[in-house]
Structure 1
Amino acid sequence: MAQVIQPRENARNAAATKLDKAVRAVALSFVMATGAGIGMLPQIAHAQAYSFSNVSIEGNQRVEAGTILSYAGIARGQTVSAGELNDAYQRLVASGLFEQVEIIPQGGTLVIKVVEYPTINQIAFEGNKRIKDEDLAAIVQSQSRRVFSPRVAEADAQQISQAYVQQGRVAARVSPKVIRRRDNRVDLVFEVFEGGVSEIERIGFTGNAAFSDRRLRRVIETKQAGLLRAIIKKDNFIEDRIEFDKQLLRDFYSARGYVDFRITGTNGEIAQERDGYFVNFTVEEGQQFSVGEVTVTSDLPEVDPEIFEKAVRLRSGKVYSPSLVENEIARLERLAIREGLNFVRVDPRINRNDRDLTLDVEFQLTRGPRIFVERIDIEGNTTTMDQVVRRQFEVAEGDPFNPRAIRESAERIRALGFFTNADVQAREGSTPQQVVIDVNVEEAPTGSISFGGSYSTTAGFGLALSFSERNFLGRGQYLSLGINTSSDTKRYFLSFAEPAFLGRELTFATNLSYTESTEISDEYDAENGAFGLSLEFPVSENGRLGVNYKLGYSNLVDPDGTGSYGGIVANEIAMGEIFDSSLGYKYTYDTRRTGLDTTAGVLFEFGQDFGGLGGDRNFVRTQAKIVAQKKVMNEEVTLRATLQGGALNYTKGQTRVGDRFFTDPDIMRGFAFGGIGPREIGAGVNDSLGGEYYATARFEAEFPVGLPEEYGIRGGVFYDIGSVWGLSDTSGVAAGNQIVSEAFEDRQTIGVSILWDSVLGPLRMDFTEPLKKKPYDETQSFNLSVSTEF
């Protein structure tokens, strides 16, 4: 922290004065000067006008006499009245240059006496810990080697206090002090008392019936103070955030059909100790409306409304949401462009039916103004290339201007995650028929480097080093590389993705990895290498299709080189190195963000890989997954069902243990990796072989557990059923051993979950109990993972 240089401590104490004393001195000087001036010029009160042949200025050191005369506005020989003399005095005081001003007429001479404000020698801050000196220096307007102004210093103190208020420290106090120096100089010191954080002890809602306080607290950004109050900063009271919370509440209710929702008041009361706030939102929910009749009309002769009616997906009976209407408008306007109908706009007309609580939606196709995009100007992108921002626009220079399309482009720019702020505005261009789109962005950090170590009794010491960049070289590309090592596993990987390959909405990705593992089994070590290329592109509003090529290398190694184990694994080790070459595809359909129901969503994935393109084996690998989710009980409880399965069929060569399917907690909970499925067991042998088929069904519910919402802890229950089976070649079974679970045999587990939105990420803890299992299965009663939404 900057320190004020002091000659002696006693001298400092004697010279230091509070700024309010300085202000009072200025005010006293004003009264005395005014009284003196009037007292010395009683004739001014009776004379009509005065003329001075000479003007004498006294006391000025830095300010030129001409500058003082210009502020006074009185010239030699000019005839002035008493009121004009008073105006001159006021102008000199208002200039902010003088601590004292006196105007004294003496016959034909006007004497102006001034005492200049001192010059600021240096500015220092004392008592601040939460905000650094350099940050405070950027806030204040007072500057070294500039004239000291009490008003500016007081304003600076208020600005510093406001900076602490933004951190939730409403009890912060800032006192400016001046220390007199020689040559009419002062040191300006801001003494800061930061105070404690004024946390939000309680957030309440009044008037809500459809949704509980707990559910509404999850909507807003502001949080109550909880166990992690020293880490979580959203429990501080910040007035601007409360305003943002109001908008979040409006959007939440509006998206659920409560079109009359209003916030009638917000009350934030601070505790007597000024260390806590109690915030309450008073709301009026109104009634929930559904979609009534949906129609499409047009007064344009070249438009056929029936074509557009067939494209509308909004149906009667759905809970009304403005976002659903916006989606339909965007869909219809895109259809108009495909039909060659430029400048056609879709205006929604909403007719309210209070009797049955429905809203009729009429999409009227009208002729919009003939306005074109003149150019797109992008500023603020010091790292990101213009083309990364420009490709988020569906329009280019010379295209018809569509305000809705521009708003959607702005949302896509913000969704990139490359910028802390992105502002998109349209203004009139060189002619009224043209517009210029201004894009102003602020760059955000997009890269990360992580380095860490680990130790476990089973894996020993480990090292992890990785680098990732989401905006590589400012091109919007993704790059990731890293090394993970331990005593029994080594993995090296490199990934790269281009989201706009060939300038189109086409994602190109490549990855390269190599893994050496000795922890899979005591009987073999595994070496695996992979190289992949893929292209992914949209095929519908919610669907995407990806095609890929994969080149894989695999090898099973006898760890002691004796080949003494025998059995199926020994035969597969003897196969040596194998190269697989395959082409594949994957289709994804996802309604989680663009579906008609904000409380439900569906995810469907289906993919196949076809091996034999120059590899050692021919095969077809198929996997499918479907997930459905629904929020019930006023969105307090989330129900989720997941069905997934896979099949592996070889027409040339045979499968190995590294190719087949194994269970893990993402497929079926309650069992260890490879804990179920075909196994070779015998005297001293219990090898998990994996299966060529698998199928599982998972059913779960997540719900509040009664703890305060700010803790971020929820509960869950689940039931899983599934199986791994199938082994096409069992000829290598060792004498005296047997293969179990070769056929379909279902396993079942139940359990409870604890989900915690921790500072490390969303953690999930599953406690399981098998309902149906085999004696040779390997169970897992507890699992900790990073949970993700489907």
Structure 2
Amino acid sequence: MTQRNGKAATLSRRAKWMLTAAVIGAVSVPVDMVPPAAAQSYRFTQVEIEGNQRVAGETILSYAGIGRGQNISAAELNDAYQRIVASGLFETVEIVPRGSTLVVKVSEYPTINVINIEGNRALKDEDLQNIIQSRSRRVYSPALAEADAATIATAYEQTGRISATVTPKIIRRSENRVDLVFEVAESKVVEVERISFVGNRSFSERRLRRALQTKQAGLLRMFVRSDTFIADRIEFDKQVLRDFYASRGFIDFEVLSVNSELTRERDAFLITFNIREGQPFRFGEITASSDLSEVDPEAFEQAIRIREGQGYSPQAVENTIARLERLAIQKGLDFIRIDPQVTRNDRDLTLDVDFRVVRGPRIFVERIDIEGNATTLDRVVRRQFRTVEGDPFNPREIRETAERIRALGFFRKADVEAREGTSPGQVIVDVDVEEQPTGSLNFGLSYSASSGPGAALSFSERNFLGRGQHLNFSVNTGADNAVSRFRFAEPAFLGRNVRFAFDASYAVSDDQDDELYKTHRIRLQPSLEFPISENGRLELRYTLEEDRLYDYTGESNIIAAEAEENALIASKLGYTYSYDTRTTGLNPNAGIVFRFSQDFAGLGGDSEYIETTALLGGQTRVWNEEVTLRAELEGGALHMLSGNSRVTNRYTLNGKMRGFQPNGLGPRDPAEDDGEALGGNMFAVARFEAEFPVGLPEEYGITGGLFADFGTVWSLDNTDNGRVDDDFNLRSAVGVSIFWTTPIGPLRFNFAAPLMKEDYDEEQTFDLTISTRF
């Protein structure tokens, strides 16, 4: 500890020297005149305390432990001195024997006046003030100040500035006060220059680096925090590698060592993972068995989704255990546990798994205690539990509950642990959470080639009033259009696993098809969504909307007739069934998504129709997971029960097919001279895509892609007596894509060339979008 503008503080050296001198002086008589024992012992009839201001003399005596009239040795006198110093209350301590009087002179530590942090730029004062323990108007402690300096240095290490130094200093003030100053030398961020692997045969370094949280420094290093060296993150990455290989059947995988070396310039690290992959295993024979009389093993075996020959995955085993335990509950079997017995077959590299249905211990959940949720209501956390007080205790269910609580995104930390209850057959589940901000206010500017400059304002709260509800309000404006939207969602409607949402929007535009007409639309939509299977969900909704088409100035007889209707009100019921295995499937490299929707309009209002849409998509990785293949099939049909459809309700394939401008393909009226886009009552599109590395360093976040789109829009209720071509005319386009992962989001550059088109279609060879990869 150093100080500025004041005398340096001295603690033990001077005090020990004075104590030694005092003891020598007290016994400075000829040795032959005093017995040896008398030369080493003292007796004090009184003790005087000098220099204390805040600390009472009795307190100092209690630290010293010296009683009046008792014999003490020089060693015991030194021990008394050490105890007073160890109290941490005094800057200097002197013990001077004066005959039968013991004089204790102390100088108390000063009081902290203010605490300042100097030299910090990367971390804010208020953030650092919150992590130190020294406080203004408290007694200054050198040991505590040193500990605070180490804490600040650790905070800088977490940002990658491992060479940062923090020096605590004091400035003497009047009335025994000091200013405590932490002088920070931040140093430069130490980046990760290179991540390499030794021992990998099945997967390339590029693929393994994509799985790690630590990244190599790239072009956008000033914005990316994951490319800074943080020692704790390396430990996390080791576990990530284990999970990566285990999910692909490499059950013998090991991280033998991790070497982190500084470069010669000491501004970057070279990290090398030394690994042993082992051999990939597949599932062998899959069975279910039990010795319990009330259990039918065949019923449990039929519920298993794992099949022989699939790549082994611990997640697949966990999913099966959860499914079988839920089946046991449905059958009214309590305290049932699934114990997987794995038999290893090294000859054919398979693992036989027998899911044993056994009786578990009779342990009940006595109580669930929740702490740390200052804003979030208890019920928001409790509804993540599938068990309540009094239910049988299931350790696996507690682990899954912890994951669900973390997935809420409301908490910076969420720990769920079980401890012994008031009796051996009961447990108490403790939930300790630390909340984090859940609201955001965003401003943005944009520019589009079709609609010009625009601005956006949005407010979002993911934990409204601590109830776990979602609230969002946004306004997006362009040169000639504006969209306002309000959305509210309750994820546990009436305490059930049912999501209630209310969506309201208002949109106006006067740039449709080169400003030939104006539109406005008001929509109100309440909905309910709930799971119906492990991967399936069903949404039920009601929609009330008003659609206006007015101020038409074009030449199309079809649109002119539609504009005469002015405002139309649609009242409709609808549903959407979705099936998604991308996050819960057994194959970590593949997944499918399927959505089927229908809306029935005619419950009042002016429109009567049935609208049906469907989407089927799939993704897989090939060639040692270096290349990602995606395919999507999508279609829709608008069937009018009365009247004709309107251009504002028909399909246009905008955003669904590349190579064509917005409203650039489909029936037009008239077809010649850049006619006006009409859209169609039906559409179909098939999109195929491959994404692959392009040879650039992985840390740049740039990959390439090839795509081919096939699709069209057709069918009209009114073709103006056959003058407009609304036949099924297939279009196609091919092209290349550049994917760039940036701090503002994944960007996608598409360069397309239409192969099949009509003469009146409008092409678009380039577009830039936010990437929405499968």
| Matched residue, 2:676 | 687
The alpha-carbon deviation at position 320 of structure 1 amounts to: 1.0
Q: Structure 1 pair 31/260, CA: closer, same or farther in 2 (3 Å)?
A: farther
Aligned pair 1:652/2:652, yes or no? no
1:548 is aligned with what amino acid? R
Q: Which moved more, 1:254-263 or 1:25-34?
A: 25-34
AA at the equivalent of 2:210 = R
Matched, 1:54 2:40: no
- The change in CA–CA distance for 1:611 and 1:160 in structure 2 (over 3 A counts) is closer
User: Displacement of 1:599 after TM fit?
Assistant: 0.5
Q: Deviation per CA, 1:355-380: give whole Å up to 9, x if none.
A: 21111111111111112222222222
Per-residue CA distance 1:391-422 (angstroms, 9 max, x = gap): 11111222211111121122111111122221
Look up the equivalent residue of 1:46 and give its one-letter code.
Answer: P
Q: How does 1:520-535 map to 2 (within 5 A)?
A: 520-521=512-513, 522-535=515-528
CA distance change for structure 1 residues 190 and 495 in 2, over 3 Å: closer, same or farther?
Answer: closer
Check whether the contact 2:368–2:428 (CA below 8 A) recurs between aligned residues. Answer: yes
- Letter in structure 1 aligned against 2:578: T
Q: SS at 2:61's partner residue?
A: helix
Deviation of the 1:149 alpha carbon: 3.7
1:202 counterpart = 2:186: no
**Structure 2 residue aligned with 1:783, among 760, 767, 770?**
767
> CA offset at residue 104 of structure 1?
4.2
Deviation at 1:39, TM superposition (A): 5.8
Give the unaligned 5+ runs of structure 1: 5-11
Contact 1:663 1:672 (C-alpha < 8 Å) held by counterparts: no
Change in CA separation of 1:515 and 1:113 when aligned onto 2, cut-off 3 Å = closer
Give the partner amino acid of 2:384: Q
Q: 2:689 aligns with which of 683, 690, 700?
A: 700
> Over residues 276-320 of structure 1, what are the superposed CA-to-partner deviations in whole Å (9 max), with x where a residue is unaligned?
222222111111111111111112111111110111111111111
The aligned residue for residue 345 of structure 1 is 337
Q: 1:270 aligns with which of 262, 265, 280?
A: 262
- 1:543: Cα distance to partner? 0.9
Shift of 1:160: 2.3
In structure 2, how many angstroms separate the alpha carbons of the residues matched to 1:272 and 1:35?
53
Please identify, of 231-240 and 679-688, the stretch whose mean Cα deviation from structure 2 is larger: 679-688
- AA of the residue aligned to 1:545: L
One-letter code aligned to 1:491 = V
What is the distance in 1 between the residues matched to 2:189 and 2:593? 43
Question: 2:525 aligns to what SS in structure 1?
Answer: strand
Distance 1:374 1:584, change over 3 A: same
Q: Deviations over 1:764-784 (max 9, x none)?
A: 111101112222101111111
**Match runs of 1:129-528 below 5 Å:** 129-182=121-174, 184-453=176-445, 459=451, 462-521=454-513, 522-528=515-521
Counterpart-to-counterpart distance in 1, 2:443 and 2:140: 50
Match of 1:9 in 2: none
Determine the C-alpha separation between the residues in 1 that align with 2:388 and 2:671: 70
Q: What's the CA shift for 1:222? A: 1.3
The verdict on how the C-alpha distance between 1:139 and 1:419 changes in structure 2, with shifts beyond 3 A counting, is closer
Say if 2:741 is the partner of 1:757.
yes
- 1:208-235 Cα shifts (integer Å, max 9, x gaps): 1111111111111111111111111111
User: Separation in 2 of the partners of 1:545 and 1:650?
Assistant: 25
Is this contact kept in 2: 1:41–1:104, CA < 8 A?
no
Contact 1:668 1:722 in 2 (8 A): yes
Conservation of the 8 A alpha-carbon contact between 1:568 and 1:732: no
Distance 1:268 1:684 in 2: 67
- Select between 69-78 and 521-530 the one with higher mean Cα deviation: 521-530
1:618 CA drift (Å): 2.7
Residue 77, structure 1, aligned to residue 75, structure 2: no
Deviations 1:411-464 (A, max 9, x none): 111111122221112222232222222222222222222334556786466443
- Secondary structure of the residue aligned to 1:612 is strand
Q: Which residue of 2 aligns with 1:578?
A: 568
8 Å Cα contact 2:733/2:752 also seen in 1? yes
Deviation for aligned residue 1:14: 5.9
Report the number of matched residues: 766
1:726 Cα deviation after fit: 1.4
Whether the aligned pair in 2 keeps the contact of 1:700 and 1:719 (CA below 8 Å) is yes
Contact kept in structure 1, 2:215 and 2:227, CA below 8 Å: yes
Matched, 1:630 2:615: no
Aligned with 1:47: secondary structure? helix
Q: 1:532 to 1:147 in 2, by over 3 A?
A: closer
- TM-score norm. by structure 1 comes to 0.92
Give the 3-state SS of the residue equivalent to 1:502 in structure 2: helix
- Partner AA of 2:724 in structure 1: I
The letter for the 2-side match of 1:718 is F
Letter in 2 for 1:280: T
CA, structure 1 residues 45+634, in 2 after alignment: closer, same or farther (shift >3 Å)?
Answer: farther
Larger mean Cα displacement after TM superposition, 89-98 or 449-458: 449-458
3-state secondary structure, aligned to 1:614: strand
Percent of residue pairs identical: 56
**Equivalent position of 2:27 in the other structure:** 41
> Is this contact kept in 2: 1:293–1:361, CA < 8 A?
yes
Distance 1:97 1:652, change over 3 A: closer
Question: What is the identity, as a one-letter code, of the residue corresponding to 1:248?
Answer: V
Q: Is the 8 A contact 1:587 1:606 kept in 2?
A: yes
The letter for the 1-side match of 2:6 is: A
Would the alpha carbon gap of residues 385 and 698 (structure 1) be closer, same or farther in structure 2, given more than 3 Å must change? same
Deviation of 1:576 after TM superposition, in Å, equals 3.2
After superposition, the Cα gap between the structure-2 partners of 1:188 and 1:441, relative to the gap in structure 1 and judged at 3 Å, is closer
Contact 2:552 2:560 in 1 (8 A): no
* 2:604 aligned residue: 614
Which has the higher mean CA deviation after the structures are superposed, 116-125 or 353-362?
116-125
The aligned residue for residue 722 of structure 1 is 711
Specify the code of the residue in structure 1 equivalent to 2:43: F
Q: Which amino acid aligns with 1:50?
A: S
Task: For residue 646 of structure 1, report the CA deviation from its aligned partner.
Answer: 1.3
One-letter code aligned to 2:308: S
Amino acid at match of 2:549: L
Tell me how far 1:37 sits from its aligned partner. Answer: 2.5
Moved more, 327-336 or 491-500: 491-500
Partner Cα separation in structure 2 for residue 683 and residue 317 of structure 1: 59
Report what 2:666 is aligned to. 677
Provide the C-alpha distance between the structure 1 equivalents of 2:105 and 2:27, rounded to a whole number of angstroms: 15
What are the ranges of 5 or more consecutive residues in structure 2 without an aligned counterpart?
none
CA shift digits 1:680-718 (9 cap, x unpaired): 226656121111221111111001112222221111111
**How far 1:476 sits from its partner (Å)?**
1.9
Match of 1:27 in 2: 13
TM superposition score normalised by structure 2: 0.93
Bigger drift between 54-63 and 607-616 goes to 54-63
